[in-house]
């Protein structure tokens, strides 16, 4: 299939995609399935479902996710943009639909029931948003006639205001951080970065002051005795019980009382059953994907591809960082799933979409024409 | 101009390198405001004009749209290192600060007479270094160049012109701030990567600490893990149970899940009436995740609490320590607290032997996994001893009493009782000062019992033999003190007679024959001057006189002036009768072979035989007659000490001891009974001395315990029990 002698469509794909990234993502997906076998059953049993309910569902979603990932990775940057725009518009529509018609789950309107499938449209907004923001930034950076930067600034409120209405502070925070990161990479003046950080800090202080549950969470993080720290304590105990090598697959006991063992706290279950070493390997795997993505982004000449790659890596990496940091109690509890590991169909397909985009924009491409268009300056040093 | 631009910041252009020197570092000038800090204020003040003038025109077009990005990127191609970027950021900030500085420089130069120009020059001098630092950063270049140019203009022309250039500089700066620098993307990606490495690294470090560090002992952790800790059973020398674990349940609450603390309090106190309602309500009204309601419920209580069905109330299985024999051997066993941690006696000793570590590692969760701890105690004998002692203490109206049995050949403590005692199942009063273990924690002047030690010392020293005689007439005068005998004989006594009549004078003379140093050395050898260590953590150091002269030796020889723990004296006497081997008493089972290894020969076998002989003699002819139990060939020694009350010996407050050995010809057990302030009774003719109470009780104890301990009765006088004494023709053998 992948002979270099002839330029088949598939062959071209195989030789231009970044195979390190592809393999690493495959490894994360497979380990996600394995870890869900540890984290899923206790929750399923608690909910009265069949033991491997969550594992089966995850496998069920993994097939379309893989298709999405591979299919997306075939796209050219232009098509990536178009697809992203389409997905963005559709999923924003669905976000509004969820706000209006979605059932209330735990006080939020985040989900839409379509047949037997529960859909969380905000998940799909994220990769599409990153692509569109990257596009706007790249336009802003090399074309003075298009109001790229202004668009890039405006797209943030347009996206997060519906999310705040849901309310979904986790996604809001994630999107805002990614957006700020993109702005940073796009070359925003340091003054503005400091200003943004200030606004962010102010936002956190306001949230702390006026949003009771945010305040409670921060206080619990600072002072364990101020409230219920059952989840975090249990998660920490998982790690302590696991030690270096873990108790062995299926031997975990703390996971039976650990809430969200199959989603937000699957990392702690990993710690208990497979040990700290396995956790570190998992961290290194995520780190490999993130750093590889950034290295590729640095190599890219096309500003759009570069920003898109950075944005997608940020989205993926920050989500992983927050989840792991919460699990090991380095930051206050915040519901965030571990990419490709935690259970969740919408999340899985959204991540596949995002990583498909990442592989698509980091494909090796002939760069000379782009080069000329974007920056004539590469000739001056010749 | 072009040349100037294409020189990388921090490059080698001489005009730049020159004035840059005065500024300490590109970052430092941000804080350095005084021109006086410059090494040579005047020379540099002119220098900046040169690069400023040169760069000025070049910089002006910079803010114009369209020109910037391409050109800028070209300039920066050589600079990929992020370190250079950091410089550029520092420069940008300096550039921002520049207008203020310029304004400061302007005022003196424009509005002050020439005389004050020095100050202005100094300010001007501050400028260049600042600006040269700023020149490191291209982003600030436009600002600084315009600013420096304007500064120069300000210096030469004054007010109006400066305003215009100030606005221009401001516009340049603002324009710069709005420009996106796509060319910085690469270095900023590196920074993003560094950020990620930092966060992931922190997670990895944290993970590693989980594996390396022991878990913190939080309340929940304690509740979850150590409560379940099991303790090994404790059994006596025959395997009878002294302490064991039983499973119980403890009720706890999660206050955050309690819907109505008042209602819950009401329900719980109805079922568990001994709970303090106010305290419970306070506990349940907090937002804590875990509080105990009541530990170790009975099954009935548990069922009742369970039936209440209060959300947020649960049960944890616990191991409760149970001592089936109640107060019997309480002082030896000690007790465990509600968390099943040993905090006294053998229980504490077990913890110190690694049980706590095992528990920490999660092992000791099942008593069945733990080997029972076998003590040297004999439960039946201990019970008998306690029973007799309780009766005796009531009979003689003593304040306190204690008794013990020691195997003289192994140093094992067979029975130990100290009254008043406590029930380790409910050790509420265990810490009462009155309930100490008097055998080990109390130190007493042992009285005449100590004469055994003195006699042994004298015989073993070689300066005195069994036939030596001492003058016990009148009193023994020493300075203003006179030592008298309680049962005065007023004649010359042989060594066995001194012991028999418990002559203070004779004993003191024996001690003097050995001398002060010899006396001290002997007592040290017998372990009477240092704290005696056994398995039990509770012990007391003897009270030794700070200055020890002849008078001390004289009084100590008959048991006054040196306070020791009774177990200490017992161990020493055991060594005197067992053939001369001193071994530390133990509460764990020990064989004779093991004891022989730890034993230390302190007196000769012949001295030991002499001691057995005189104790036996005392047993049927002397003060110890009352403890004479037919058939066990008992020997013994009484001891009555006056207690020190307010620094004086009180005649009517006695501390009586009786030490007896059975059988005296081949000793097996040593019995010690002590009474604290026994009272005289009609049947004792008002006497409260040792023979009338301690001696009597010891006799009863021996009669009752000897069959239990398997001591064979001896009905016929043993043939020639003390051959050496006969050979020497000791007093009483003829």
Q: Are the C-beta atoms of residues A55 and A40 closer than 8 Å to each other?
A: yes
Per-residue confidence band for B52, with pLDDT thresholds at 50, 70 and 90:
very low
pLDDT in tens, B320-369: 888 999 889 899 998 888 777 888 889 888 888 776 666 655 555 565 66
CA dist., res. A166 & res. A154, Å (int): 20
Q: Domains (ranges, CATH) in chain B?
A: 234-270+290-306+317-374 (3.90.1310.10), 387-728 (3.40.710.10)
What is the rounded average pLDDT of the residues B281-307? 87
Q: Where do the domains of chain A lie?
A: 14-362
pLDDT at residue B156 above 70?
no
What is the rounded average pLDDT of the residues B413-438? 87
B65 touches chain A (CB under 8 A): yes
CA dist., res. B86 & res. B27, Å (int): 10
User: If contacts are CB pairs under 8 Å, which of residues 230-249 in chain A contact chain B?
Assistant: 230, 233, 236-237, 239-240, 242-244
Structure-block tokens of residue B329: 């051997």
State residue B394's pLDDT score.
Answer: 92
State residue B18's pLDDT score.
Answer: 37
Q: What is the DSSP letter of B573?
A: H
pLDDT at residue B201 above 90?
yes
pLDDT at residue B231 above 90?
no
Helices in B396-477 by DSSP H: which ranges? 451-461
Chain B residue numbers touching A230 (CB-CB < 8 A): 289
CA dist., res. B447 & res. B658, Å (int): 10
Chain A residue numbers touching B220 (CB-CB < 8 A): 233
pLDDT at residue A172 above 90?
no
Chain A residue numbers touching B93 (CB-CB < 8 A): 190
First to last CA, chain B: 135
Query: Which range has the worst mean pLDDT, A297-311, A364-378, B170-184, B561-575?
Result: A364-378
B182 touches chain A (CB under 8 A): yes
Question: Distances in Å between the alpha carbon of A310 and those of A186, A188, A290?
Answer: 10, 15, 9
CA dist., res. B37 & res. B135, Å (int): 20
Q: Are the C-beta atoms of residues A238 and A19 closer than 8 Å to each other?
A: no
Task: Compute the mean pLDDT over every residue in chain B, rounded to the nearest whole number.
Answer: 75
Strand partners, B94: none
- Residue of A272, A328, A378, A382 to mutate, testing the B interface (most B Cβ within 10 Å of its Cβ): A328
- Residue of A193, A223, A233, A323 to mutate, testing the B interface (most B Cβ within 10 Å of its Cβ): A233
Nearest to A14 by CA among A75, A74, A62: A74
Decide: helix, strand or coil at residue A349. helix
CA dist., res. B320 & res. B424, Å (int): 12
- A279/B207 Cβ within 8 A: yes
Cβ-count burial of B686 within 10 angstroms (0-12 exposed, 13-18 middle, 19+ buried)? Answer: exposed
User: So which residues of B are the catalytic ones?
Assistant: 448
Question: Distances in Å between the alpha carbon of A301 and those of A80, A304, A311, A359, B522?
Answer: 17, 9, 15, 15, 96
ipTM of the shown complex: 0.89
The distance of A166 to chain B (nearest Cα, Å) reads: 27
Nearest to B559 by CA among B417, B470, B422, B449: B449
pLDDT at residue B224 above 50?
no
Per-residue confidence band for B261, with pLDDT thresholds at 50, 70 and 90:
confident
Q: What is the DSSP letter of B588?
A: B
Per-residue confidence band for B179, with pLDDT thresholds at 50, 70 and 90:
low
Per-residue confidence band for B130, with pLDDT thresholds at 50, 70 and 90:
very low
State residue B87's pLDDT score.
Answer: 38
What share of chain B in percent tops pLDDT 70?
72
User: If contacts are CB pairs under 8 Å, which of residues 624-663 in chain B contact chain A?
Assistant: none
Q: Are the C-beta atoms of residues B458 and B558 closer than 8 Å to each other?
A: no
CB-nearest to A291 from B74, B193, B211 is: B193
* pTM value > 0.90: no
Query: Which range has the worst mean pLDDT, A14-18, A272-276, B76-80, B195-199?
Result: B76-80
pLDDT at residue B42 above 70?
no
């Amino acid at each position: 299939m992948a002979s270099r002698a002839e330029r088949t469509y598939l062959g071209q794909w195989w030789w231009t995609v970044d195979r390190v990234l592809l393999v690493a993502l495959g490894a994360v997906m497979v380990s996600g399935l394995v870890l869900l076998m540890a984290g899923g059953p206790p929750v399923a049993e608690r909910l009265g479902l069949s033991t491997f309910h969550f594992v089966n569902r995850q496998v069920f979603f993994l097939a379309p996710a893989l298709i999405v990932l591979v299919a997306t990775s075939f796209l050219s940057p232009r098509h990536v943009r178009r697809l992203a725009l389409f997905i963005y518009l559709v999923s924003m529509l669905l976000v509004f639909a969820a706000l209006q018609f979605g059932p209330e789950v735990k006080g939020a309107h985040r989900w839409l029931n379509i047949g037997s499938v529960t859909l969380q449209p905000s998940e799909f907004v994220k990769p599409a948003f990153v692509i569109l923001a990257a596009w706007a930034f790249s336009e802003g950076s090399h074309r003075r006639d298009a109001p790229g930067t202004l668009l890039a600034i405006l797209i943030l409120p347009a996206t997060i205001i519906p999310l705040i209405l849901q309310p979904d502070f986790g996604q809001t925070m994630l999107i805002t951080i990614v957006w700020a990161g993109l702005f940073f990479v796009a070359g925003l003046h340091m003054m503005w970065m400091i200003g943004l950080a200030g606004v962010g800090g102010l936002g956190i202080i306001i949230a702390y002051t006026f949003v009771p549950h945010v305040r409670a969470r921060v206080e619990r993080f600072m002072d364990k005795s101020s409230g219920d720290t059952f989840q975090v304590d249990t998660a920490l105990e998982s790690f302590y019980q696991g030690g270096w090598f873990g108790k062995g697959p299926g031997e975990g006991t703390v996971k039976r009382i650990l809430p969200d063992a199959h989603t937000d706290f699957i990392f702690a279950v990993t710690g208990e059953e497979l040990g700290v070493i396995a956790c570190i390997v998992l961290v290194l795997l995520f780190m490999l994907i993130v750093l590889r993505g950034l290295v590729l982004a640095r190599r890219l000449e096309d500003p759009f591809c570069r920003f898109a790659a950075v944005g997608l890596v940020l989205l993926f990496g920050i989500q992983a960082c927050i989840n792991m940091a919460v699990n090991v109690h380095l930051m206050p509890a915040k519901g965030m799933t571990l990419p490709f590991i935690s259970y969740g169909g919408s999340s899985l397909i959204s991540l596949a979409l995002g990583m498909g985009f990442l592989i698509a924009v980091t494909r090796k491409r002939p760069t000379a024409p782009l080069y000329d268009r974007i920056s004539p300056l590469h000739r001056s040093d010749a | 101009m072009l040349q100037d631009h294409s020189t990388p910041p921090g490059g080698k252009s001489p005009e730049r390198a020159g004035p840059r020197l005065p500024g300490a570092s590109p970052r430092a000038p941000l804080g350095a405001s005084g021109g006086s800090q410059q090494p040579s204020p005047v020379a540099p003040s002119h220098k900046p004009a040169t690069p400023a003038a040169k760069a000025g025109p070049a910089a002006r077009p910079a803010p114009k749209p369209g020109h910037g990005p391409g050109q800028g990127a070209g300039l920066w191609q050589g600079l990929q290192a992020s370190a250079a970027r950091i410089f550029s950021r520092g420069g940008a900030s300096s550039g921002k600060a520049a207008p203020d500085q310029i304004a400061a420089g302007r005022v003196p130069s424009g509005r002050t007479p020439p005389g004050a120009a020095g100050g202005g020059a100094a300010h001007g001098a501050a400028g260049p270094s600042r600006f040269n630092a700023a020149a490191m950063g291209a982003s600030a270049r436009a600002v600084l160049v315009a600013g420096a140019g304007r500064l120069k203009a300000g210096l030469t022309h004054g007010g109006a012109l400066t305003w215009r250039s100030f606005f221009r500089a401001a516009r340049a700066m603002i324009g710069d701030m709005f420009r996106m620098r796509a060319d910085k993307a690469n270095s900023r990606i590196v920074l993003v990567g560094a950020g990620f490495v930092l966060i992931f690294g922190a997670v990895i470090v944290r993970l590693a600490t989980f594996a390396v560090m022991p878990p913190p002992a939080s309340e929940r952790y304690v509740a979850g893990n150590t409560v379940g800790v099991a303790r090994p059973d404790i059994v006596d020398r025959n395997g009878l149970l002294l302490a064991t674990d039983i499973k119980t349940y403890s009720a706890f609450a999660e206050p955050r899940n309690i819907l109505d603390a008042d209602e819950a309090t009401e329900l719980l106190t109805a079922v568990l009436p001994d709970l303090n309602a106010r305290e419970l309500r306070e506990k349940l009204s907090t937002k804590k995740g875990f509080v105990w309601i009541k530990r170790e419920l009975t099954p009935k209580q548990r069922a009742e609490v369970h039936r209440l069905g209060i959300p947020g109330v649960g049960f944890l299985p616990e191991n409760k320590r149970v001592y089936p024999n109640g107060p019997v051997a309480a002082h030896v066993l000690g007790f465990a607290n509600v968390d099943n941690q040993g905090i006294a006696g053998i229980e504490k000793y077990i913890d110190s032997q690694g049980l706590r570590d095992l528990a920490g590692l999660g092992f000791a969760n099942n008593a069945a996994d733990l080997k029972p701890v076998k003590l040297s105690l004999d439960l039946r004998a201990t019970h008998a001893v306690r029973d007799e002692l309780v009766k005796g203490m009531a009979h003689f109206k003593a304040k306190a009493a204690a008794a013990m049995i020691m195997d003289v050949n192994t140093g094992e403590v067979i029975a130990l009782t100290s009254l008043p005692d406590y029930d380790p199942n409910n050790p509420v009063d265990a810490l009462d000062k009155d309930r100490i273990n008097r055998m080990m924690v109390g130190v007493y002047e042992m009285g005449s019992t100590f004469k055994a030690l003195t006699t042994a010392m004298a015989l073993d020293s070689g300066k005195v033999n069994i036939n030596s005689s001492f003058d016990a007439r009148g009193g023994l005068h020493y300075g203003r003190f006179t030592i008298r005998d309680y049962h005065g004989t007023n004649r010359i006594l042989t060594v066995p007679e001194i012991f028999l009549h418990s002559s203070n004078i004779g004993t003191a003379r024996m001690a003097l024959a050995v001398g002060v140093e010899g006396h001290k050395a002997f007592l040290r050898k017998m372990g009477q001057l240092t704290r005696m260590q056994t398995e039990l953590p509770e012990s007391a150091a003897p009270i030794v006189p700070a200055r020890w002269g002849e008078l001390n030796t004289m009084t100590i020889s008959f048991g006054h002036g040196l306070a020791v723990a009774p177990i200490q004296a017992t161990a020493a006497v055991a060594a005197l009768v067992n053939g001369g081997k001193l071994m530390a008493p133990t509460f764990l089972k020990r064989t004779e072979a093991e004891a022989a290894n730890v034993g230390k020969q302190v007196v000769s076998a012949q001295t030991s035989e002499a001691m057995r002989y005189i104790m036996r003699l005392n047993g049927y002819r002397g003060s110890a007659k009352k403890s004479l139990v037919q058939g066990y060939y008992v020997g013994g020694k009484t001891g009555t000490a006056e207690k020190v009350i307010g620094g004086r010996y009180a005649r009517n407050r006695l501390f009586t001891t009786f030490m007896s050995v059975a059988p005296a010809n081949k000793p097996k057990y040593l019995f010690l009974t002590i009474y604290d302030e026994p009272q005289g009774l009609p049947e004792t003719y008002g006497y409260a001395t040792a023979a009338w109470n301690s001696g009597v009780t010891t006799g009863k104890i021996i009669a009752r315990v000897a069959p239990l301990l398997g001591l064979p009765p001896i009905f016929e006088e043993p043939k020639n029990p003390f051959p050496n004494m006969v050979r020497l023709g000791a007093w009483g053998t003829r």
